[in-house]
């Protein structure tokens, strides 16, 4: 399914979020080694995809294998400006998040980017 | 006995009483409890673990029970009110009366997705979003933006033709009627409608948008239609399935009701037309 293209220039609110998120993101620096683990395709099961860390439309998005919110059984954490985005892997290897819960994406990075578009600069609420 | 009607056929008085009952449930806090329950299940239902409300055979009976409870809450405010259904194969554009200012209000504005008209707009003051996944406290929609088209009647009919209720592995990878209706596989019915509406309807906190109930009332009606078309096809699985609600297992969060108790909707309500 195609999504509408939206302006990529960060809003003032988004820029503020990046500043705050950079500090929170430092806590993840020690997990950078995870990026050397090979990415797996969905049909190989529930092995974690590789880590990522980038700025997308003014928000810092990060993916960290092995750091998922344990209450929900996740083995992979996605953060937007340092705040965890609840994600889930489907049986076919695709991913969804609590922000885009009915629309599967191929990778955690794609689900993080979709959440950034959907949030339009808003901050995530901490997971319960 | 409650009669669930097509939302397109409601009178102005019926619409007003429904809207007033929704606003009263929001005021007394009961509405948000339903949002909380739904989000908790959607975040914990997983393909490889315990799954009750979604991505599992009990998707249909779980939402049937959820809607019955919600309808009873509405009726505690106004006994004349029932949950209408939205046949999105017919009323399939943002210009449908469903989205008029005298009912649910329309799509969101482009800048921030905020719904600007109708009784659930932030400016109306009666619909604060308290249970949410992000900081925004106003109702949002982006009708038709996340996906261009709602399912067609032909697509619905292709799913209703499937003879088996559900199949192993009883999750989002399953073949069969349930998963095709839910939309994780195939032409995609239920999931696609959430995406088409957009805003909170695309999130785990989707009941924040009152259209949630009308969408699920129609999904529920399709289940009844399917039963009428396939009287020899039972709910599956029947027993002994790990992480899955079998026919006679009780369902969380109620723990006193089973799929078997919910197979016949006429014990609880009927429809304005033959199911």
pLDDT confidence bin for A10, thresholds 50/70/90 = very low
Residue-wise over B150-162: b if at least 16 C-beta within 10 A, else e?
bbeeebbeebbeb
Q: How confident is the model at residue B225 (pLDDT cuts 50, 70, 90)?
A: very high
A128 and B183 in contact by Cβ < 8 A?
no
Mean pLDDT of A36-50: 49
Domains with residue ranges and CATH for chain A: 52-119 (3.30.1880.10)
Contact A123 B146 (CB under 8 A): no
Predicted confidence at residue A128, as pLDDT, reads 60
pLDDT of residue A23: 34
Question: Inter-axis angle of helices B59-77 and B211-229, to 10 degrees?
Answer: 130
State residue B188's pLDDT score.
98
- The reported pLDDT for the residue numbered A72 is 52
pLDDT for residue A47: 59
**Structural contact between residues B46 and B59, judged by C-beta atoms closer than 8 angstroms:** no
Angle between helical axes of B12-27 and B59-77 (0-180°, round to 10):
90
B-chain CB neighbours of A1 within 8 Å are 146-147, 195
Is the Cα torsion angle A28, A30, A32, A36 positive or negative in sign?
A: negative
Asked if B89 and B153 count as a contact pair (C-beta separation under 8 A), the reply is: yes
CB contact (8 A) between residue A99 and residue B192: no
Total-model pTM: 0.88
Neighbour-count burial of B252, counting CB atoms closer than 10 A to its CB (0-12 exposed, 13-18 middle, 19+ buried): middle
In whole numbers, what is the pLDDT of chain B averaged over residues? 97
Least confident of A4-13, A113-122, B24-33, B194-203: A4-13
- Chain A's closest residue to B131, CA to CA, is A125
The CA R_g of chain A, rounded to the nearest whole Å, is 14
pLDDT band, residue A21 (cuts 50/70/90): very low
pLDDT for B181: 98
- pLDDT for A66 equals 80
From chain B, the residues in CB contact with A3 under 8 A are 145-146
Q: Write out the residues of chain A at the interface with chain B, using a CB-CB cutoff of 8 A.
A: 1-4, 46, 71-73, 86, 88-92, 98-104, 118-120, 122-125, 128
Interface ipTM: 0.94
- By Cβ distance, the residue of B142, B147, B204 closest to A101 is B204
To the nearest whole angstrom, how far is the Cα of A28 from the nearest Cα of chain B?
22
Mutate to test the interface with A, among B42, B114, B131, B133 (most CBs of A within 10 A): B133
């Amino acid at each position: 399914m195609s999504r509408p293209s939206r302006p990529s220039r960060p809003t003032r609110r988004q820029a503020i979020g990046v500043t705050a998120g950079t500090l929170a993101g430092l806590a993840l620096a020690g997990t950078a080694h995870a990026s050397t683990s090979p990415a797996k395709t969905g049909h190989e099961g529930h092995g974690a995809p590789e880590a990522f860390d980038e700025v997308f439309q003014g928000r810092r998005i990060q993916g960290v294998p092995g750091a998922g919110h344990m209450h929900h059984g996740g083995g992979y954490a996605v953060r937007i400006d340092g705040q965890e985005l609840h994600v889930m892997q489907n049986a076919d290897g695709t991913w969804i998040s609590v922000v885009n819960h009915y629309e599967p994406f191929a990778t955690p990075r794609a689900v993080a980017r979709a959440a950034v578009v959907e949030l339009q600069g808003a901050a995530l609420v901490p997971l319960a | 006995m409650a009669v669930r009607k097509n939302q397109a056929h409601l009178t102005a008085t019926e619409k007003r009483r429904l809207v007033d009952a929704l606003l009263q449930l929001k005021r007394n806090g009961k509405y948000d409890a339903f949002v909380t329950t739904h989000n908790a299940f959607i975040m914990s239902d997983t393909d490889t673990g315990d799954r009750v409300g979604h991505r599992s055979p009990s998707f249909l009976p779980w939402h049937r029970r959820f809607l019955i409870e919600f309808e009873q809450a509405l009726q505690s405010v106004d006994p004349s009110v029932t949950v209408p259904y939205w046949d999105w194969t017919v009323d399939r554009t943002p210009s449908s009366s469903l989205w008029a200012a005298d009912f649910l209000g329309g799509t969101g504005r482009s800048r921030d997705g905020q719904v600007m008209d109708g009784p659930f707009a932030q400016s109306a003051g009666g619909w604060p979003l308290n249970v949410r996944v992000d900081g925004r406290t106003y109702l949002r929609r982006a009708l038709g933006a996340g996906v261009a088209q709602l399912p067609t009647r032909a697509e619905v009919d292709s799913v209703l033709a499937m003879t088996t209720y559900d199949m192993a592995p009883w999750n989002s990878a399953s073949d069969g009627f349930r998963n095709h209706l839910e939309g994780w596989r195939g032409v995609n019915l239920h999931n696609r409608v959430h995406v088409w509406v957009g805003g909170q309807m695309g999130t785990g906190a989707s009941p924040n948008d009152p259209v949630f109930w009308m969408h699920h009332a129609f999904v529920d009606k399709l289940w009844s239609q399917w039963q009428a078309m396939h009287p020899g096809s039972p709910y599956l699985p029947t027993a002994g399935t790990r992480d899955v609600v079998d026919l006679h297992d009780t369902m969380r969060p109620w723990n006193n009701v089973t799929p078997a108790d919910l197979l016949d909707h006429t014990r609880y309500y009927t429809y304005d037309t033959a199911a």
